[in-house]
Structure 1
Amino acid sequence: MPIDRIWSYAPDSGHVEGRDLTGYTVVAGDGTIGHVDRQADHHGMRHLVVDTGVWVFGRSVLVPVGLVTDIDPEERRITVDCTRAEVKAAPRFRTDSETMDPAYLTAVGDYYLGLPPRQTSAG
């Protein structure tokens, strides 16, 4: 996946410009990650901030929108092309200011770009 694609929704993801995804459940290939706390687009690097609840000790994670493979508005569910362990191992998200830091966002994008490709099943 080219670097710019990690920050853009795939054409077949079901993304509709302007749709608020706050509160949607985010699901990896092996289970639920959490819920979308907010969407952001800083420096052309679109991403979701996902509240993991108690799963990762109450911390939030940043997920580039290029990982989104399916958005189901009826179920309010987003499917992403990674595993829970891969999300948990991503560069740690500590403060809101990091979502505006190009160096941090680049590190997150590089991490996800380095993961092996897979296909998650939507449904």
Structure 2
Amino acid sequence: MTVDSIWSYPPQAVGAQGEDVTGFTVVASDGVIGHVDREADHFGMRHLVVDTGVWVFGKSVLVPVGVVTGIDREERRIAVACSRAEIKAAPRFRTDSETMDPDYLARVGQYYHGLPPRGAATA
């Protein structure tokens, strides 16, 4: 996976491009992380803003769509190729303006690109 591909849906999730995934549950390799609050594509850096509820003290996290490993449309679930701890350790998402900050998005992309590869999971 290249740094650029971290911002594009992988082939197993290609149908998600243009699909409204708002409200879908996001599942890491070791459990639920929250639900999709919204999807954005600024500067060609498509990502999900995930509301974690009480898991990360009511915060949201930004997840590049390149880590999506599967989408179950019937169950409204999105699986991602990282653990809850890896998502929690990502560069902190504080405000919506960060989704418009190319430097912040680049840091997020570098972080997720640097994670060890995992086998594909299903949603």
Instruction: Name the TM tier (shorter chain).
Output: over 0.9
The yes-or-no answer on 1:53 pairing with 2:43 is no
Q: Which amino acid aligns with 1:63?
A: V
Number of residue-to-residue matches in the alignment = 123
Q: Which amino acid aligns with 2:15?
A: H
Work out the CA distance in 2 between the residues paired with 1:53 and 1:43: 28
After TM superposition, list the pairs within 5 Å mapping 1:95-114 onto structure 2.
Answer: 95-114=95-114
Q: Which residue of the partner structure matches residue 85 of structure 2? A: 85
Work out the CA distance in 2 between the residues paired with 1:95 and 1:32: 22
Q: Which residue of the partner structure matches residue 65 of structure 1? A: 65
Cα RMSD of the aligned pairs, angstroms, is 1.0
For normalisation by structure 2, the TM-score amounts to 0.96
What is the identity percentage for the equivalent residue pairs of Structure 1 and Structure 2?
Answer: 72
Counterpart contact for 2:67–2:82, Cα < 8 Å: yes
Counterpart contact for 2:31–2:84, Cα < 8 Å: yes
Structure 1, gaps ≥5 residues long? none
Q: Which residue of the partner structure matches residue 37 of structure 2? A: 37
For normalisation by structure 1, the TM-score amounts to 0.96
